[in-house]
Copies of this chain bind each other. A is one copy, B any other.
Amino acid sequence: MDFSYSPRVETLRREFSEFFTTHIVANAARHAAEAAAQCAAGKPWQPSTVVEELKAKAKEQGWWNLFLPHSTHAPQGLSNLEYAPLCEIMGRIPWSAEVFNCSAPDSGNMEVLQRYGSEAQQQRWLNPLLAGEIRSAFLMTEPDVASSDATTIQCSIRRDGDSYVINGRKWFSSGAGDPRCAVYIVMGKTNPDAPAHRQQSMILVPADTPGVQVRRPCTVFGYDDAPHGHMDITLDQVRVPADHILLGEGRGFEIAQGRLGPGRIHHCMRSIGLAEMALELLCRRVTTRIAFGRPLADYSIWHERIAESRCLIEQARLLTLKAADAMDKFGNKAARAEIAMIKVVAPNMAAKIIDWAIQAHGAAGVSADFPLAQAYAAARSLRLADGPDEVHRAAIAKLELARYTAPSE
């Protein structure tokens, strides 16, 4: 047991932080200005030229596809425990992950294609994704059912000769707003009569297939998160060749399970970075803002919140890193309790701290002049994305109760 970062990670953190400060932090205002200008010009969905410019720099310096585990694609691949601290740094400025080709849902989709894709699928979709040339989306959530219960999925994937025909409605399909988004991984049912977890399949659907209609962006507390977006998409008699299926019919649930682990580490580490950013803003604000003759930092109510924030962040980070370590050592399944725990802990922690930071900022906190309100929207939504807190807590409790009831444990 050792709570210090390894020398390799220390070096990575230092060098990555330098890149981050020099290129991301320094360009944050330019990025915001470009987004505002595009929005004012009625083109909010146009990709950011700042991001494209920085992508080139990141790629050149090797800060690229960092999420990718050691493999032929990534001979120098990082373990989860090594990547996690870099992911935390990216989390401080949400748009930065794309600069390193490490943004969701692309990173998860790349992992799926790498682990489960056929050679043809990899050549057509994985390679341009790894190169950062196209974007992708993951069409899972449906408006009419509790999507955390995969058995309720209604989207139909029906075999018809050499093709599959897909019908359904998906929403909160993140990333599908981007004009460069070229492919969707769609979760649906190939066989509603199979056993509960063999009914689902995943299939690749080119975004320009006839019958695909991107209807509108779903907003998150008023934010459309353009140009990324969380889209409402109808699939009406969408026909794709049969070889677009991933892994095979009935394997959808299995792929979904495999996809989740690393993605949750990423989301949680980014949440921790977001919380650190919020705590920094909070501290800077209270030391400079005067009310009733004293800086806010003199009021003990802020000491309580700052201390509580620091305690929560430290603990959430340790638990997330422990989950990453367990995944590296024992695999996703053995680490499922830890993964469920961080999925609950990290977004709740981040939302709480961001909320305190908002409070310290007064009206400015809910405005667009600080990144806090949007950060809150992101953290709050993460308590619902990939399953609401309640589902994960039930899973944790089930494992805990099994220690006292299962005959074999």
Contact = CB atoms under 8 A, between A and B. Distances in A.
A56 interface: no
Interface string A381-401: 101110011111111111011
Interface in A334-349: 337-338, 340-341, 344-345
A335 B387 CA distance: 37
Given A326-B3, A366-B220, A384 B359 contact: yes
A146 interface: yes
Interface in A347-401: 355, 358-359, 362-369, 373-374, 376-377, 380-381, 383-385, 388-398, 400-401
A52 interface: no
A290 B325 contact: no
Q: How many copies does the complex hold?
A: 4
A137 B321 CA distance: 40
Which applies to chain A's interface (DSSP): helix, strand, loop or mixed?
helix
A141 interface: yes
Interface stretch (A60-68, A120-128, A309-317): A309-317
Interface of A: 1-6, 9, 42, 81, 141, 143, 145-149, 152, 171-172, 218-224, 279-280, 283-284, 286-287, 289-292, 296-297, 299-304, 306-308, 310-311, 314-316, 318-319, 321-322, 325-326, 329, 337-338, 340-341, 344-345, 355, 358-359, 362-369, 373-374, 376-377, 380-381, 383-385, 388-398, 400-401, 403-405
Given A306-B396, A311-B344, A315-B319, 10 more contacts: A152-B291, A222-B374, A301-B301, A301-B390, A307-B393, A307-B396, A307-B397, A314-B322, A363-B385, A365-B384
